[in-house]
Structure 1
Amino acid sequence: MSQDLAAELHDLENHEGHDVTVILERATAAAVEADRIGDVVLGHRARLVQADMRRRVGDVDHAARVFLATHRWAERHECRPLLGRTHFHLALTYHYLGDQAASLEHALNAVDLLDADAPAGLRIIVLIRLANSLAEIGSYDQARERYRQAEQIAVDIGDMTRRLLALNNLAYTELEAGNAATALAAVERMYAAARTIGRDLLVVERDTVANIHISAGRYAEAEAILRDVYDAPNWYEAHDAADAALTLTIAQRHQDALDRAQASLDHCRSLCDEHQLNAVGVRVMAEQAELHAAGGDFQAAFEEYKRYHAASEQLRSTQQEAKARARQAIFETAEARRDAERYREQARRDPLTGLWNRRFVDENLPDALTDPPVTVSVIDIDHFKRINDTLSHDIGDRVLIAVAEILADEQDRQADDGFVARLGGEEFLLVLPGLSPDQAAEALETIRLRIATHPWHPVTGDLPVTVSIGGLTTDDPDADQADLLAEADRRLYTAKRTGRNRVVLTADPD
């Protein structure tokens, strides 16, 4: 039963039709069946399809909630195939919101998460989404490469329908980039692919081709491509047919065929009224003004343009509200969680140096000690009060920041794990796991020398900057944090008492 349901979901996820109602019904039935047989992953996949259909009819905020909730579940359970699908849907969501950077990030993740045995159809649509995201930020060469990869996969598996999908997106991207010749070359390959499978171009594909011809001034060819758009099957998405009718109007107007253009525009308007296609409807008003002007009725053109301007402002407000609802859905889920994590980290960071603070140490040092050997060292800047009093607190802050950068750099170089923190004032804590006592002594001596020989003169003039270090290496997985820090402090005191600018890693015999 699970195999049959998986096959049904595979078909829905790669569906080539545009009947949202039918796909939604099938996805709903699939979700019910997944719940009945207890297959959680298939249930999530079914609900992703449901949400995607809801997105297509404008319910973006609901869809965003589903995408993000499923994404979190996939992250927690390390379910790569589902995670890849959620990244794909989130790429589309952020595209709708106009956040091109986030859209690209999710598209890249969706591609990265594709397993070697992922269905070829899924690979194609994910690559196309990535190509579209790259095109949106102006990376046209990289976009073309992904379109090429998607087209090649389609050719390899003999799927000319998906080859047409890749080519249609490529052609539209070239049109947007202003590359008419390259767009026309893609159109020729579209026709070749359509002939191979023995069908005409779909309405959405013909609309792309017609727009390319219009951009090249080939208005009669554009009209010929779309002339039978009135006869488009009713299972196409209505906005595809409306877009094509509007494009046909423009092609006819440019040929001064104003009667034909008006008939096409009237057909487009009726589709908008019937299916509540407000965005296309606003563009209809703009084109109606153009037709009035082309016919010499400038008063009517002016009145229609005023209506267009008012409707355009209303549409923009409505779209902004819809996007705001979708953003709110995101903030209430993923963004809210990320904000919480960011605030949590900020509460554990020293605001001046960016290092971890005492709170972080108290929460994380006990765990670090359970995997010995671990070196714990306390580092103190020598005569720091003199720097503050003689120069200024601003100079003192600059010294603290520079020392913090050296410590962080050495921590990265010396150990794969561990951390460095500012305990307060001029005192720091460095935790280096995995080092023997000799290795730890060498690492700490390197730190002491780096700080002592740092070019301080531009900052402190003739005042030197050195540090004293007290530390120890423990092999005891049950070592007590408070005892270790107290012992490191005692050794730091020894370093101070015996002359400063030194490392002490042995207990004071006194």
Structure 2
Amino acid sequence: MFKRLDVGDLIVLDTQQQIGVINQLRMLLPPGDAHRQRLLDTQRCFIEFSNSLKEGFAFAEAGLADATRANDTEAMARYHYCRGGYQKSVGTPTKAIDDFEKGIELSRKNEDNVLLAQGLASRGDKFSVLGLHGKALADLLQAQRIYQQNQLQEAASQIFQSIGIAYRRLGYLDKAREYLVQSMEQEQRAGDRESLYGSTLQLGFTEEESGNFGKALALDQQALELATKTGDKTSIGSAQIAIAGSQSDLQHYPDALAVLDKAEANFAAAGDAGFTGMIAYERGRAFAGLGQLMQANDMFERAEKAPDFNENQRYLELLFGAKAKNLEAAGRAPAALREYKRYLAAREEVANQRQNQQAQMLREQFDTDRSQLENARLKAEQARLTAEQELKDRQVETLERVRSWQEVALGLLIALLGLLGFATIRQLARSRIWKRMASIDPLTGAANRRGVDHFGVSAVRNARTLHEPLSLLAVDLDLFKRVNDRFGHAAGDRALQQIASACQHALREHDLFGRIGGEEFLAVLPGTTLAHAAEVAERLRSRVETLAFEDLPSDLHATISVGVVELSADDGSFADLEKRADNTLYRAKTGGRNRVVIAGECSFDAAASEPSATEPEGAAQATS
């Protein structure tokens, strides 16, 4: 019964029913069995304090101290997991990670794989919240494998939700939707109302990030109904925050403010201070939508200082963008420009983190496959040794039987070596594919930051050695955020793909065009002088300006600004050359956009200083 409670088989029961199971088990304990008493208390720690988080944290602290004095390492690991779960609301994410890692270390020392899987799943959830999605997926998938190896299918299926969340935060929305739907189907079959609430809420976030605001609101309301049935104040408050966000997306601002008041009351009742920043942020959005700009700015300032925002780049990207827009609407252009620069920096950081996490995910998969290949090799070697030993043991019987066994062993060895050779060849092919994928931007098919840097360093070295010219174009889409705001992120992604394709086809075969983040690109032009590079830049600018997008709204247009530089003796590295190109691009942006600026010169065949087609008349000309 304890094992079923421990791995979640009894999660279909409500909190009071699970506490009842714990009390029944306590009555069955023999007198003086302190170890099993502590194990039952760890289950209380996880279950009993959902609406009194500070009390739960204090219970975990006291239990951990008692288990440490008794050197009860299993109970210590469980209390570390429990305390880590409460750290989000009463501590910090870093402290939560520390607790999970201490519990994982103890579980490994005890060789308790099921307890190890629980810690990996908890740490994976926290890594996902912090934006470390590659690490999150590695932990979650390992935990799922351990559960499956131990025939714990119910526990393994519960991780579908966490994997879906990690894929959502990594930007793979279709993959996230697939896992979350599977999770919901499993939870509905099992009658697991609490987990169904979590999957429904996360699917609502997925639809919101896909631009499907109506679907998102409907899912958020379903999540609220489920949370209300569980009575968990924190879950109810979380669903209400999600509803407020969807209502603001749909411009129902008064409704959003009303539901946020209810959410704040629920968190206060639970003693949960982990959502103060998100409540302030959503209030700021609603006030901004109502034109109450001063109140909106106050809320944004409060959100930035909150613990749930100051360590989360994804949240800060949203906050700085909303804050800049609000200040611009209030006529505070200098302050808006400062916030917009912070928004761009945060957005670039999130994009880089996401790109790095995608590469890390591929590396984790590569390491896993390599480990599996090594295990297969060791098993093959063990099988060969076993076959040889059997042959030696049977030599005393008859020479004919020995020869027969030798033939069998030889055939088995050949088959095993053939299998190992096939697996090795396939692994080498996968390695080449992964290496190429790690240098390619998954959205546009152009080179990514890693690919551009590798090519650029090599190009600088060759230019120095061969005394040949080398030029670099820094390209940025003008006001492209407004394309996303007006037509949706899906349309924006397709537009990015077509723009990147058009630019790549306008370059020579040995040139490189790559996306380095967001709407920013670099074109490396070996053997090209500054004058020729300026002509190439103008060709790119003209082609994008006249580009007719396929399968997109006919009134969607885009323009680019381009900075052009040539490698000089003062450039110590490719990074120095890129920095000069970026400064030149900045001149193009501040000079009116939709133009080419050459390092040290005025605009090259610049277009008239007028807004991009996606920019409304009279919009402020802040650099984008």
User: How far did 1:274 drift?
Assistant: 6.9
Task: Give the counterpart of 1:266 among 281, 284, 298.
Answer: 298
- Does residue 164 (structure 1) correspond to residue 197 (structure 2)? The answer is yes
Give the SS at the match of 1:372.
helix
The aligned runs of 1:135-146 (5 Å cut-off) are 135=168, 136=170, 137-138=172-173, 139-146=175-182
Question: In structure 2, how many angstroms separate the alpha carbons of the residues matched to 1:443 and 1:198?
Answer: 62
**Alignment match, 2:78:** 45
Residues 315-353 of structure 1: CA distance to partner in whole angstroms, max 9, x if unpaired?
A: 9989999xx9xxxxx9xxxx9xx99x99xx9xxxxxxxx
User: How far did 1:30 drift?
Assistant: 1.3
- Does residue 86 (structure 1) correspond to residue 119 (structure 2)? The answer is yes
CA contact (8 A) 1:282 1:308 kept: no
- Identify which range, 20-29 or 36-45, moves more after superposition: 20-29
Task: Give the counterpart of 1:292 among 303, 308, 327.
Answer: 327
Question: In structure 1, how many angstroms separate the alpha carbons of the residues matched to 2:180 and 2:350?
Answer: 34
Question: In structure 2, how many angstroms separate the alpha carbons of the residues matched to 1:369 and 1:198?
Answer: 60
Residues 427-465 of structure 1: CA distance to partner in whole angstroms, max 9, x if unpaired?
A: xxxxxxx9812323556899999xxxxxxxxxxxxxxxx
**Alignment match, 2:258:** 224
AA in 2 matched with 1:43: M
Residues 29-81 of structure 1: CA distance to partner in whole angstroms, max 9, x if unpaired?
A: 11122234443211111123334555674453x65565445435534544132
Question: In structure 2, how many angstroms separate the alpha carbons of the residues matched to 1:238 and 1:53?
Answer: 11
Relative to structure 1, the CA distance from residue 435 to residue 301 in structure 2 (aligned partners, 3 Å threshold; closer, same or farther) is farther
Tell me the TM-score normalised to structure 1 length: 0.53
Give the SS at the match of 1:88.
helix
Relative to structure 1, the CA distance from residue 31 to residue 314 in structure 2 (aligned partners, 3 Å threshold; closer, same or farther) is same
The aligned runs of 1:140-155 (5 Å cut-off) are 140-149=176-185, 151-152=187-188
Question: In structure 1, how many angstroms separate the alpha carbons of the residues matched to 2:72 and 2:348?
Answer: 42
User: How far did 1:194 drift?
Assistant: 4.7
Give the SS at the match of 1:190.
helix
Question: In structure 1, how many angstroms separate the alpha carbons of the residues matched to 2:318 and 2:260?
Answer: 18
- Does residue 35 (structure 1) correspond to residue 68 (structure 2)? The answer is yes
**Alignment match, 2:280:** 245
**Alignment match, 1:305:** 337
AA in 2 matched with 1:250: R
CA contact (8 A) 2:280 2:303 kept: no
Task: Give the counterpart of 2:164 among 131, 141, 147.
Answer: 131
CA contact (8 A) 2:84 2:99 kept: yes
The aligned runs of 1:307-386 (5 Å cut-off) are 307=339, 309-310=341-342, 313=345, 368=385, 372-373=389-390
AA in 2 matched with 1:226: L
Tell me the TM-score normalised to structure 2 length: 0.45
CA contact (8 A) 1:207 1:226 kept: yes
Residues 290-311 of structure 1: CA distance to partner in whole angstroms, max 9, x if unpaired?
A: 333334x2xx243243156359
AA in 2 matched with 1:41: E
**Alignment match, 2:422:** none
Give the SS at the match of 2:389.
coil
Task: Give the fraction of aligned pairs with identical amino acids, expressed as a percent.
Answer: 14
AA in 2 matched with 1:263: Q
CA contact (8 A) 1:246 1:265 kept: no
- Does residue 179 (structure 1) correspond to residue 215 (structure 2)? The answer is no
CA contact (8 A) 1:220 1:251 kept: yes
CA contact (8 A) 2:128 2:165 kept: no
5+ residue gaps, structure 2 = 1-33, 393-402, 419-624
Question: In structure 2, how many angstroms separate the alpha carbons of the residues matched to 1:444 and 1:169?
Answer: 51
CA contact (8 A) 1:151 1:163 kept: yes
Question: In structure 2, how many angstroms separate the alpha carbons of the residues matched to 1:315 and 1:237?
Answer: 29
CA contact (8 A) 2:283 2:296 kept: yes
AA in 2 matched with 1:209: I
Question: In structure 2, how many angstroms separate the alpha carbons of the residues matched to 1:79 and 1:448?
Answer: 35
Question: In structure 2, how many angstroms separate the alpha carbons of the residues matched to 1:76 and 1:231?
Answer: 43
Question: In structure 1, how many angstroms separate the alpha carbons of the residues matched to 2:326 and 2:102?
Answer: 48
**Alignment match, 1:209:** 243
Give the SS at the match of 1:168.
helix
CA contact (8 A) 1:288 1:301 kept: no
Relative to structure 1, the CA distance from residue 320 to residue 237 in structure 2 (aligned partners, 3 Å threshold; closer, same or farther) is farther
CA contact (8 A) 2:328 2:336 kept: no
AA in 2 matched with 1:179: N
CA contact (8 A) 1:373 1:435 kept: no
- Does residue 439 (structure 1) correspond to residue 408 (structure 2)? The answer is yes
Question: In structure 2, how many angstroms separate the alpha carbons of the residues matched to 1:172 and 1:161?
Answer: 17
CA contact (8 A) 2:124 2:140 kept: yes
AA in 2 matched with 1:248: R
AA in 1 matched with 2:275: D
AA in 2 matched with 1:215: D
CA contact (8 A) 1:285 1:308 kept: yes
User: How far did 1:172 drift?
Assistant: 1.5
5+ residue gaps, structure 1 = 325-329, 346-354, 357-363, 376-433, 450-510
CA contact (8 A) 1:151 1:167 kept: no
Question: In structure 2, how many angstroms separate the alpha carbons of the residues matched to 1:125 and 1:448?
Answer: 39
Residues 65-116 of structure 1: CA distance to partner in whole angstroms, max 9, x if unpaired?
A: 6544543553454413212112203323543564534422422332344489
Relative to structure 1, the CA distance from residue 55 to residue 249 in structure 2 (aligned partners, 3 Å threshold; closer, same or farther) is closer
User: How far did 1:314 drift?
Assistant: 8.7
Residues 243-290 of structure 1: CA distance to partner in whole angstroms, max 9, x if unpaired?
A: 12221221232233x1xx533542553465475953567865544443
The aligned runs of 1:351-500 (5 Å cut-off) are 368=385, 372-373=389-390, 436-440=405-409
Question: In structure 1, how many angstroms separate the alpha carbons of the residues matched to 2:204 and 2:286?
Answer: 18
Relative to structure 1, the CA distance from residue 29 to residue 320 in structure 2 (aligned partners, 3 Å threshold; closer, same or farther) is farther
Question: In structure 2, how many angstroms separate the alpha carbons of the residues matched to 1:81 and 1:444?
Answer: 36
Residues 456-481 of structure 1: CA distance to partner in whole angstroms, max 9, x if unpaired?
A: xxxxxxxxxxxxxxxxxxxxxxxxxx
The aligned runs of 1:112-131 (5 Å cut-off) are 112-114=145-147, 126-131=159-164
CA contact (8 A) 2:274 2:308 kept: no
CA contact (8 A) 1:249 1:262 kept: no
**Alignment match, 1:462:** none
AA in 2 matched with 1:222: A
Give the SS at the match of 1:436.
helix
Question: In structure 1, how many angstroms separate the alpha carbons of the residues matched to 2:333 and 2:97?
Answer: 40
